[in-house]
Amino acid sequence: MNTVGGVLRFSLTSLFLGILAGTLSAQTPEPVGPVAQPPSPRPIETKITCGSRDGTMEFTYPITFQRRAGDAPPVPVDDGVRITYVAKGCTGCSWVQFIWRELTVHRKIGGNERATPKMKYKENGGEYPYTDEVDKPEVHVDAPTGTNPAYPGQTNGESATSFVDSPTSTFTIPTIPAAAEKDPAALERAKAALANIAEIEEVAHLDAYLVCDGVVCGHFAWTKTWSWKPGDEAPGTGKNYAQSKLIHMGTEKPTKAMRDALDRQFPGQTLVK
């Protein structure tokens, strides 16, 4: 999720050899009211007891909702995820979500290259590093830093607590940078670098935790993957896809890295005990 805005531009010697001229950022999905939807798919669900509540956790994909970024008009999103807990007495329940990202350039010649933690992207008003070692994820809370780590915009009611999400990618489809057009040598290097890309792939790893009265009761682990492959027409064209996938559901607690992120971004928070 998150706010628009840029934080990093690549040089000719960086990961993308200067062909990613755009900034890296993600956008905040914000439900803004009813929207016409096709029939929703059947949710994947599991029974969860949280304190005195016997209920059901549900993961539904894809769903349609509207995304608002700043003052821009809302835009329909048709590849959203809805995460819900249905039970009596849900007013004391919330969802807290963590996220980390990895970004890889697959080259035709020269092997693959991954974004390192020295390279950052903007999300929820903060700057966060990419992960290059998946067993050491650079995780953060998927919410604007402040006093409340609950996922923004969620609906809390007596019979259910729910939120929708559809993360956006942080990379820009590569094109020949304007500066290279003025330098024949730089132009040839940029063209060669662009022609050598087989695929750019980004994966967002998300962990949504159900918290009732301060206690973590349930967990959904899911991912969203984006892929771009160059087209034959011109630089900046190609094939794109994005796909969300449920990886696991259960009753696991947040990891130490997640707890550290929670304390770092929300010192003194009382939502998660």
Q: So what's the pLDDT on residue 231? A: 79
Q: So what's the pLDDT on residue 105? A: 93
Q: So what's the pLDDT on residue 57? A: 97
Sign of CA dihedral 148, 171, 102, 244: positive
Q: So what's the pLDDT on residue 26? A: 55
Non-local CB neighbours of 77 within 8 Å, separated by 6+ positions? 29, 64, 65, 66, 67, 166
Q: So what's the pLDDT on residue 78? A: 87
C-beta separation of 268 from 146 below 8 A = no
Q: What is the pLDDT of residues 220-254, one digit of tens each?
A: 999 999 999 887 666 667 788 899 999 999 999 99
Q: Is 264 exposed, middle or buried (0-12, 13-18, 19+ CB in 10 A)?
A: exposed
Non-local CB neighbours of 177 within 8 Å, separated by 6+ positions? 18, 19, 21, 190
Q: What is the pLDDT of residues 133-164, one digit of tens each?
A: 999 999 999 998 888 999 998 998 899 999 99
Entry pTM? 0.85
Q: So what's the pLDDT on residue 212? A: 96
Residue with tokens 């999300």: 123
Helix (H, G, I), strand (E, B) or coil at 82: strand
Non-local CB neighbours of 200 within 8 Å, separated by 6+ positions? 103, 104, 105, 106, 171, 174, 227, 228
CA distance linking residue 59 with residue 158, whole number of Å:
19
Q: So what's the pLDDT on residue 39? A: 54
Q: So what's the pLDDT on residue 12? A: 30
Non-local CB neighbours of 184 within 8 Å, separated by 6+ positions? none
Helix (H, G, I), strand (E, B) or coil at 93: strand
Please list the pLDDT of the chain residue by residue as tens digits (273 residues).
Answer: 433 333 333 333 344 443 333 334 554 444 433 334 445 588 999 999 999 999 999 999 999 998 877 788 888 988 899 999 999 999 899 999 999 999 999 999 988 999 999 999 999 889 999 999 999 999 999 998 888 999 998 998 899 999 999 999 998 888 888 888 889 999 999 889 888 999 999 999 999 999 999 999 999 999 999 999 887 666 667 788 899 999 999 999 999 999 999 999 999 999 999
Phi/psi at 179 (nearest 5 deg)?
-60, -35
Helix (H, G, I), strand (E, B) or coil at 202: strand
Burial 155-166 (b: 16+ CB within 10 A, else e): ebeeebbbbbbb
CA distance linking residue 8 with residue 224, whole number of Å:
22
C-beta separation of 30 from 155 below 8 A = no
C-beta separation of 137 from 100 below 8 A = yes
Residue with tokens 């730089």: 186
